[in-house]
Amino acid sequence: MCYIPRVPKPKKKLLRIVSWNINGLRAGHRKGFLPWLAQEKAGIVCVQETKIDAETLAREVKVPAPGHHGVFAHAKKKGYSGVATFSKVEPLSTRVGVGIERFDDEGRVVETEHESFLLFNAYFPKGSGTLRDNSRVPYKLDFYAALFSHVKKRRKAAKKPAIVLGDFNTAHNPIDLAHAKSNVMNSGFLPEERADLERHLKSGYVDTFRALHPDTVRYSWWSQIPGVREKNVGWRIDYVWVSEDLMPRVREAFIDCEVTGSDHCPVGIVLEV
């Protein structure tokens, strides 16, 4: 008989994608962002609330490590909002914003196209307003609609699945915050915000952490009032959503509560590519 050797199946390549509201990239730099980035070993790192424009970034932050590619969106208002996406493999294409001036002026979205998916790094607005009167809720819900409409168009053009991640600034269900009953009238847990989140989720997306950890209580943001984080009185408002056709390739979803340096902690996924 003729011996036919077995050809081993190629190992699947895994990509670690991390999202973190850094609450100021300069502040994060002072608090150890670069050592964390080197240790994290993620292929893609998305940060929100950078509070800085690309032109004034120090080079070591703009290019955080050899081989990283950085894409930035910044607000017209100095020291406000802003997002950045760092990737070890240069994206096939990049876009900033959703094409609507009143959102793009606040530097809230960076899109990067990769070989097998589109990635939208977004910093969703707070609805509370400067006076904590929920005055920005309409703007916030308009942003949700504009972003997911933009994602739909881009997916159709690229013919690729999508990842939408970042600080969504809304806790979806009571399991996602420590004090649900006392926050039903506060932006971040208003019925209309939660309903809007649910509507977009049902349009064809999966909340990766909740899908893989349906009963796990874990938070991604804590008030900066002393003792609150130590008591774990928090909210889960940072998400990695994937389109339903991408979910079979998600191998892990995580929240790294032990990472400090911001009032948020990193969240992410491990994706089979």
Which residues are the active-site residues?
167
Instruction: Give Cβ neighbours of residue 124 (< 8 Å, ≥ 6 apart).
Output: 108, 140, 143, 144, 147, 166, 167, 168, 169, 170
The answer to whether the beta carbons of residues 50 and 108 sit under 8 Å apart is no
Tell me which long-range contacts 177-182 makes (C-beta under 8 A, separation of at least 24): 177/219, 177/234, 177/235, 177/236, 178/219, 178/232, 178/233, 178/234, 178/235, 179/233
- Tokens found for residue 249: 């390739």
Residue 231's identity, in one-letter code, is K
The CA-atom distances, in angstroms, between 36 and each of 43, 216, 260 are: 13, 25, 10
Q: What are residue 268's phi and psi, to 5 degrees?
A: 180, -175
Q: Which residue has the tokens 């999202």?
A: 19
* Total length of the chain: 273
